[in-house]
């Protein structure tokens, strides 16, 4: 994007000063947006290119380097945030970047020359997250802080304590400050952005900004709901660990119960770095978390000390940044769809291209403001990449390729489904259709109600619901429970058996516990987890309907925003009428999930930890099954753990269980034990 800089050797001193001043100002603006507002204005690789050019300019014209230059400061300026401030006992530095193997070789040559010999290197994945410092006293977590400007960070202790992978108590009573990365797993990032768009909010640009925005919340309940995770990779106090190398430090972190990334590798030849980079360039899409490069560290800790640091970066480490994986394609159309909450979302329809292992033809444009800021027109050639390695996203328009007859794209004024006027609700970026009888919203809402995680009505998918609506057989969720055999036989491809199966599934759904119904009603901001927390607290829908905002917000994991949404929903006359109709249809309106636990179960009262990827189930399903059978499911291994169930890539928990002699099962052993209990998993 910025490859057309004037060659440095051709710049006059005056021109160089002008360009340096301009770049310093530009990068400062971009840095504030990225670090403080968690809303980047440009792509990461474009920022890196500008930054690298400024570094080169300042190296050639050092008389123009100023103390406030982005090259002289670490991270963002935390001083302006509302969070309490923390002065770091030792500066939290950032890493220098290289973008090619040739630059990596140059760094190695400088390092080798400084040391006088070739050192071993520890290779680690560069996690795309937010740097954090964790202080433990006698093994107890007492403080957590962000990097901030490297000297002063923000106190995020309450928020970090909601992150399940970070232990509040180490396995040994040592006093130490450790540093690492808070990140948002890819699945959590995708789920969060889907929810934000449904709520009319601006989606996060990437998992790193999503993690930063989540960690810096003033309300710890919001942080907890965002499902963050962490990896620890550094301490300035290795003597507290008894470690002499970086690889040993990682092993000691794991033994202490701290989360570490198990993909590190020690090498003695610089040529082996290329193999590691090639391996994880290929594997990065398979990882559950985002990475944007590889970190190379001198493995011997005493050599790290000898090499020292500059004002901003350590000389003993370097980050190799992956080049952006992009493709060029052409936007052929912009399609607008209506979600169940009325949010009207634009999607670019493009020529299909291969990207990160999949063929991509569609990319969300999120909302009108986003579309306008990109300046996209039909017929434009655009760059395409995957945000967080999973979500297709348009980067920029290639203006040089724009057709001469192209016209500015006009944002629609009316709903594409019902032709009602669209509105901008204050505080939202989305366009909304507020017509309660909009056919698209009704269909999306009914599909959600019947979905697996809601009322789980098998056989009632989008196609069937579309037929039922078109035939005027249903109008809302309550009318589903008045369908009969004669009506269903009128549907396309419905015979006696399929009708019987659907009616059986509808009848079975009447007995669901309240949390499924609450989730299925499609109340804004109410996901499956929030629905269960609310149902478990209030026990029946009548109590929920009369609860105050304060009553609901006091539930751990539920904030005031969600509470307002629930109260507003049940205040509507239409909602009250719907609940009455569901009651008359004998749909259960009570919380039924209290399980009578068999004390003779093998799992009763056992402390069990899950780790790794489960192939035959999922962590939440396995956790609930274990809890229903009397197990105490914990997040970390200790000497008191009775059993570790290890899926693929068990990592540090598996290593620690081996060290402590904890009983370990494979997933298949767990499945076999479930079968013995006589209950399906």
Structure tokens at 343: 């949010």
434-469 b/e (C-beta count within 10 Å ≥ 16 → b): ebeebebbbbbbbbbbbbeebbebebbeeebbebbe
Q: What value, to the nearest 5°, has the Cα angle with vertex 411 and ends 409 and 413?
A: 145
Distance of CA 187 to the CA centre of its chain: 6
Could you give the CA distance from residue 601 to residue 124 in angstroms, rounded to a whole number? 43
Give catalytic status of residue 126 as yes or no: yes
Could you give the CA distance from residue 49 to residue 65 in angstroms, rounded to a whole number? 18
CB burial of residue 572 (10 Å; 0-12, 13-18, 19+): exposed
Residue 213, CA distances (Å) to 39, 82, 194, 417, 552 in order: 9, 13, 16, 34, 24
The radius of gyration of the chain from alpha carbons, rounded to an integer in Å, stands at: 28
Could you give the CA distance from residue 460 to residue 488 in angstroms, rounded to a whole number? 11
Q: Are 198 and 341 in contact (CB under 8 A)?
A: yes
Could you give the CA distance from residue 56 to residue 624 in angstroms, rounded to a whole number? 56
Which SS3 state, helix, strand or coil, does residue 324 take? coil
Q: What are phi and psi of 391, to 5 degrees?
A: -105, 115
121-146 b/e (C-beta count within 10 Å ≥ 16 → b): bbbbbbbbbbbbbbbbeebebeebbb
Structure tokens at 200: 């009319």
Could you give the CA distance from residue 140 to residue 254 in angstroms, rounded to a whole number? 16
What residues form DSSP beta bridges with 477? none
Structure tokens at 274: 């290329």
Which SS3 state, helix, strand or coil, does residue 599 take? coil
Q: Are 596 and 679 in contact (CB under 8 A)?
A: no
Considering the candidates 85, 126, 495, 656, report the single residue annotated as catalytic: 126
Structure tokens at 237: 């106090």
**Residues 6+ away with beta carbon under 8 Å from 351:** 329, 330, 332, 361
**Residues 6+ away with beta carbon under 8 Å from 642:** 606, 607, 608, 662, 663
What residues form DSSP beta bridges with 145? 133, 155
Got the DSSP string for 158-194? Answer: HHHTT-TTS-SB-SS---EEEEEEEE--HHHHHHHHH
Q: Are 520 and 513 in contact (CB under 8 A)?
A: no
Which residues does the annotation mark as catalytic? 126
């Amino acid at each position: 994007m910025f490859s057309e800089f004037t060659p440095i050797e051709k710049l006059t001193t005056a021109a160089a000063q002008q360009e340096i001043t301009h770049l310093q100002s530009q990068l400062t603006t971009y840095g504030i947006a990225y670090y403080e507002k968690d809303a980047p204005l440009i792509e990461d690789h474009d920022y890196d290119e500008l930054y690298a050019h400024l570094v080169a300019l300042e190296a050639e014209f050092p008389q123009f380097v100023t103390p406030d230059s982005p090259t002289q400061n670490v991270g963002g300026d935390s001083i302006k945030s509302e969070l309490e401030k923390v002065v770091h006992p030792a500066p939290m530095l950032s890493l220098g970047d290289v973008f090619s193997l040739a630059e990596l070789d140059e760094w190695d040559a400088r390092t080798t020359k400084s040391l006088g010999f070739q050192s071993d290197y520890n290779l680690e994945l560069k996690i795309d997250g937010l740097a954090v410092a964790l202080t433990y006293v006698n093994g107890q977590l007492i403080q957590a802080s962000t990097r901030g400007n490297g000297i002063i960070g923000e106190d995020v202790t309450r928020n970090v304590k909601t992150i399940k992978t970070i232990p509040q108590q180490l396995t040994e009573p040592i006093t130490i400050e450790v540093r690492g990365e808070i990140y948002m797993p890819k699945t959590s990032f995708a789920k969060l952005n889907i929810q934000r768009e449904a709520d009319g909010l601006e989606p996060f640009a990437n998992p790193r900004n999503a993690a930063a925005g989540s960690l810096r919340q003033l309300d710890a309940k919001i942080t907890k709901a965002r499902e963050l995770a962490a990896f620890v990779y550094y301490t300035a106090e290795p003597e507290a660990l008894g470690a002499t190398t970086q690889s040993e430090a990682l092993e000691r972190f794991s033994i202490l119960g701290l989360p570490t990334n198990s993909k590190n590798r020690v090498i003695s030849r610089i040529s082996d770095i290329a193999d590691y980079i090639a391996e994880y360039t290929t594997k990065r899409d398979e990882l559950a978390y985002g990475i944007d490069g590889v970190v190379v560290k001198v493995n011997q800790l005493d050599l790290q000390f000898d090499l020292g640091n500059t004002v901003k970066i350590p000389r003993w480490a370097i980050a190799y940044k992956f080049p952006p994986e992009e493709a060029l394609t052409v936007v052929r159309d912009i399609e607008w769809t209506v979600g169940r909450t009325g949010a009207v979302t634009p999607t670019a329809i493009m020529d299909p291209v291969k990207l990160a292992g999949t063929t991509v033809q569609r990319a969300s444009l999120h909302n009108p403001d986003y579309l306008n800021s990109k300046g996209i027109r039909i017929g434009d050639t655009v760059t395409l990449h995957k945000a967080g390695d999973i979500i297709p996203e348009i980067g920029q328009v290639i203006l040089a390729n724009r057709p001469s007859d192209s016209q500015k794209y006009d944002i629609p004024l009316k709903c594409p489904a019902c032709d009602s006027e669209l509105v901008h609700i204050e505080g939202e970026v989305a366009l909304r259709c507020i017509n309660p009888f909009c056919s698209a919203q009704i269909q999306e809402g009914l599909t959600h109600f019947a979905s697996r995680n809601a009322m789980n009505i098998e056989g009632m998918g989008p196609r069937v619901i579309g037929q039922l609506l078109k035939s005027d057989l249903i109008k809302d969720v309550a009318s589903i429970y008045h369908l009969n055999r004669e009506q269903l036989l009128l549907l396309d491809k419905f015979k006696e058996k399929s009708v019987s199966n659907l009616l059986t599934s509808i009848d079975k759904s009447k007995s669901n516990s309240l949390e499924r119904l609450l989730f299925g009603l499609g109340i804004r901001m109410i996901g499956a987890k929030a629905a269960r927390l609310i149902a478990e607290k209030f026990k029946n829908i009548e109590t929920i309907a009369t609860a105050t905002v304060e009553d609901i917000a006091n539930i751990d994991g539920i904030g005031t925003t969600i509470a307002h949404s629930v109260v507003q929903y049940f205040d509507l006359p239409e909602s009250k009428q719907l609940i009455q109709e569901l009651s008359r249809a004998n749909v259960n309106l009570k919380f039924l999930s209290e399980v009578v636990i068999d004390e003779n179960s093998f799992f009763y009262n056992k402390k069990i930890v899950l780790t790794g990827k489960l192939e035959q189930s999922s962590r939440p399903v396995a956790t609930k099954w274990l809890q229903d059978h009397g197990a105490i499911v914990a997040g970390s291994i200790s000497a008191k753990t009775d059993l570790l169930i290890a899926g693929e890539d068990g990592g540090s928990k598996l290593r620690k269980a081996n060290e402590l002699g904890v009983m370990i099962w494979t997933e298949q052993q767990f499945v076999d034990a479930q079968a013995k209990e006589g209950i399906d998993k």
